[in-house]
Amino acid sequence: MATGRTHRPATRSRGIPEATVARLPLYLRALTALSERSVPTVSSEELAAAAGVNSAKLRKDFSYLGSYGTRGVGYDVEYLVYQISRELGLTQDWPVVIVGIGNLGAALANYGGFASRGFRVAALIDADPAMAGKPVAGIAVQHTDELEKIISDNGVSIGVIATPAGAAQQVCDRLVAAGVTSILNFAPTVLSVPDGVDVRKVDLSIELQILAFHEQRKAGEDSGAEGGSGGPGAGAGAAGPVGSGPDASRPAVASGATGADAGAVASAAAAAAAADDAAAAARKGRPEGDVPAVMPA
């Protein structure tokens, strides 16, 4: 296989929209599952349902790939797997370095999904001298002093940052200076990069906060339904203008126990952030390390 340094994906040159690119992995995952079950063809409706999108959007996305399927038959599963894999650059080998081998970095190193998609973990890097030489997922951890040489020797163009927020930008700068042009950032901070460098951010705490918002909304709706089920008078009040009727003072979103729970989540996230920063400060000269399981925004 060729290395990631010598080949780049064709998506941009072919003019495929970023929104479509973001959905291609969803289609590939669904198609791979079908392929493993030896399903030869699939309709746009079936594939769209498996990928969680509507069929019209799927057909539009596939038109950018030059794949229109066959009326009455559907799409050839194996051909689509190859076609999407090619567009995503997964028909070649992509060496990856992970910087920051704390709990999260070690978990990423042990994740088998990278290798199955063509992403080979070429090196694990950490600033703690005590970590140097220790095996994680069968790979010996190397010190950050060797970062530039590791990237050059392995032809790395993709880097993963799993450090505390305070160290992430410095690590990012070194990766970019060494030739890395794509970064997957797990640190709870926004990175500044020059033109030509792509950054994808994964922040677990943001996703949890969004879920907390929806849970609070659902709790508010349940509370409203219970309060509005007392008979015709209650229904009329709910339908009346703002400021009138018996339900006019009820907030749209409940602010009782659910609000307290959301506050507790935020407080816990803040405490985790403070603990992580304190731990990072205590490790003299070690910018990388553990990232809390729930990272603060």
227-267 per-position pLDDT tens digit? 665 544 444 444 333 333 334 333 333 333 334 344 444 44
Question: Which domains are present in the chain?
Answer: 18-87 (1.10.10.10), 94-203 (3.40.50.720)
- What is residue 11's predicted lDDT score, i.e. its pLDDT? 41
pLDDT tens digits, 163-206 = 999 999 999 999 999 999 999 999 999 999 999 999 999 998 89
Q: Which residues of the chain have pLDDT under 50?
A: 1-13, 231-297
pLDDT the model gives residue 169: 98
Residue bearing tokens 């994964």: 202
Distance in Å from the first CA to the final CA of the chain: 39
Is the separation of the CB atoms in 204 and 293 below 8 Å? Answer: yes
CA distance 83 to 77: 10
For the entire predicted model, the pTM comes to: 0.65
Contact 114, 120 (CB under 8 A): yes
Half-sphere exposure (CA, 13 Å, Cβ side) for 175? 32
Contacts (Cβ under 8 Å, ≥6 apart) of 146: 125
* pLDDT at 14 (0 to 100): 59
Q: What is the pLDDT of residue 130?
A: 95
Q: Which candidate, 122, 139, 127, places its Cα nearest to that of 102?
A: 127
Average pLDDT, the chain: 79
**What is the model's pLDDT at position 271?**
45
* CB 133 within 8 Å of CB 194: no
Query: Residue 219: which residues within 8 A CB-CB, separation 6 or more?
Result: 254, 258
Report residue 288 as tokens: 């990388």
The residues, ordered by sequence, that sit 6+ positions from 3 with a Cβ below 8 Å of its Cβ are 92, 93, 94, 95, 155
Strand-pair partners of 152: none
42 phi-psi bin (left φ>0, alpha ψ -120 to 50, beta other): beta
- Tokens 């906060």 correspond to 209
Interhelix angle 257-282/165-178, rounded to 10 degrees, is 60
Residue-wise over 47-69: b if at least 16 C-beta within 10 A, else e?
A: bbebbebeeeebbebbebbeeeb
